[in-house]
């Protein structure tokens, strides 16, 4: 019996592969579809066998046309052809477009279109650049100036990339850099023996940096020379001091950058925080704005009225005390009261002593007795007020 059971087990194991081979394999729905309709993510092996998308004839004939489908093509060498996908091919001119299938229409954003257009302008040799610069300088040839500008558009993009982290929209930086490039062409002197690219790079950077300062915050920044110096060098100087083991205190930063300490504190606060609009709603119903939550640092109206009324009472009491000094025997006290205590520019003790032909010490004694009497008079007339010395300061 044991031998029969072993033979049955061996027979069942040998028949299992045969049964699996006879079963029909399951076929996914995407595999049954035509190659063009297959899912590109789920079935990559199907796409490899698919026929390539047809390219319009207008592009197939133009073998010298360089197309830059994306941003990465800018860094490629001039002689290196960028990799162009069939879905991203575009005709060179709108007038030469021919009807194409929907899958052949390129979907390029504004930046990609601009970069593709820039690559259509070839660079100039030193001799060509010199000839064009002389034509523009001596004969105001606008065609020569246009050729100088278009041949250096790649330089603008390269410089704009250095400030891409400070401003996310690269086209804004390129636009300002192009303005600097045109200004450089206008000011370029071909007799100095320099290349236009070397001279124009300074103008391009200057225009880009000015754009960054003008648009960095809602409130304009960099309006003075000190602010511009801090805007570009404050963070670098802080990092340098911290790497050297020093604390980046405002006093040390001000000494290193040759500016005021208050300007360092102000610029550090402006760079480390963002501007807030005073009209921005802060309540759920939108009726309360941020401006309503800012405390008014001015003195309250009732406090100002109280001080004004108290000052009027004190002036009246001082006039009454001055009238008590009209006695001829008190002419010295009256003179000291008018020229020393109540005067904006009081006379010195020496001047008062010379006026009455007495010593400085005697004048000091008379003034001390006068102040004592005035304090007692005010304490009697104003019992609720305690800071009498404030009136006599």
Across 8-27, average pLDDT = 48
Mean pLDDT of 237-258: 87
Would you state the pLDDT for residue 76? 37
Q: What is the DSSP letter of 340?
A: I
For position 388, what pLDDT does the model report? 55
Mean per-residue pLDDT, 105-133: 86
Q: What is the mean pLDDT of residues 24-41?
A: 40
Residues with Cβ within 8 Å of residue 299, at least 6 apart in sequence: none
Q: What's the confidence (pLDDT) of residue 217?
A: 74
Sign of dihedral through CA atoms 61, 62, 63, 67?
negative
- The DSSP string of 302-368 is HHHHHHHHHHHHHHHHHHHHHHTT-SGGGHHHHHHIIIIIS-SSPPPHHHHHHHHT--HHHHHHHHH
Strand partners, 289: 281
| Fold type of domain 126-215 | 1.20.120
- Checking if the pLDDT of 110 tops 70, the result is yes
pLDDT for the residue numbered 82: 37
Which of the given ranges, 30-34, 220-224, 287-291, has the highest pLDDT on average?
Answer: 287-291
Burial class (CB in 10 A: 0-12, 13-18, 19+), 173: buried
Torsion of CA 315, 319, 324, 328, to 10 degrees: 140
Q: What pLDDT sits at residue 5?
A: 53
pLDDT at residue 16 above 60?
A: no
**Angstrom distance (rounded) from CA 304 to CA 298:** 10
CA 172, chain centre distance (Å): 13
Mean pLDDT of the chain: 74
**Confidence check: pLDDT of 75 > 60:** no
On whether the CB atoms of residues 205 and 190 are closer than 8 A, the answer is: no
Local structure of 77: helix, strand or coil: coil
User: Is the per-residue pLDDT at 382 higher than 60?
Assistant: yes
**What pLDDT is attached to residue 83?**
38
At 54, the pLDDT band (50, 70, 90 cuts) reads very low
Q: Give residue-wise pLDDT tens across range 178-225.
A: 999 999 999 999 999 889 999 999 999 999 988 988 887 777 777 778
Query: pLDDT per residue over 309-330, tens digit each?
Result: 888 988 898 899 888 888 777 7
Strand pairing partners for 281?
A: 289
């Amino acid at each position: 019996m044991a031998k029969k059971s072993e033979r049955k087990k061996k027979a069942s194991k040998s028949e299992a592969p045969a049964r699996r081979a006879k079963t029909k394999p399951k076929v996914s729905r995407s595999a049954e579809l035509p190659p063009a309709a297959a899912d590109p993510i789920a079935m990559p092996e199907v796409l490899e066998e698919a026929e390539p998308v047809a390219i319009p004839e207008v592009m197939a004939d133009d073998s010298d046309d360089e197309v830059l489908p994306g941003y990465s093509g800018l860094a490629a060498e001039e002689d290196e052809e960028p990799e162009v996908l069939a879905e991203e091919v575009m005709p060179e001119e709108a007038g030469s477009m021919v009807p194409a299938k929907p899958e052949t229409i390129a979907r390029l954003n504004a930046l990609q279109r601009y970069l593709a257009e820039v690559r259509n302008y070839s660079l100039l040799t030193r001799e060509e650049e010199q000839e064009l610069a002389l034509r523009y300088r001596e004969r105001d040839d606008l065609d020569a100036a246009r050729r100088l500008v278009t041949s250096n558009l790649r330089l603008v993009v390269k410089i704009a990339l250095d400030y891409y982290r400070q401003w996310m929209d690269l086209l804004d930086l390129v636009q300002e850099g192009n303005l600097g490039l045109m200004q450089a062409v206008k000011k370029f002197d071909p007799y100095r023996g320099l290349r236009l690219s070397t001279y124009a790079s300074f103008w391009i950077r200057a225009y880009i940096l000015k754009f960054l300062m003008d648009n960095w915050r809602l409130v304009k920044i960099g309006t003075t020379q000190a602010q511009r110096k801090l805007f570009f060098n404050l963070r670098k100087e802080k990092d340098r001091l911290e790497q050297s083991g020093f604390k980046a205190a405002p006093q040390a930063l001000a000494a290193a950058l040759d500016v005021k300490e208050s300007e360092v504190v102000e610029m550090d606060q402006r760079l480390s925080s963002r501007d807030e609009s005073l009209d921005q709603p802060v309540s759920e119903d939108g009726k309360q704005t941020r401006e309503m939550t800012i405390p008014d640092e001015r003195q309250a109206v009732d406090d100002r009225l109280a001080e004004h009324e108290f000052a009027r009472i004190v002036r009246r009491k001082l006039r009454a005390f001055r009238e008590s000094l009209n006695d001829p025997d008190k002419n010295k006290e009256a003179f000291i009261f008018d020229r020393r205590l109540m005067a904006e520019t009081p006379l010195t003790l020496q001047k008062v002593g010379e006026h009455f032909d007495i010593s400085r010490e005697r004048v000091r004694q008379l003034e001390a007795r006068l102040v004592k009497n005035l304090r007692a008079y005010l304490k009697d007339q104003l019992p609720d007020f305690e800071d009498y010395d404030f009136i006599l300061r």
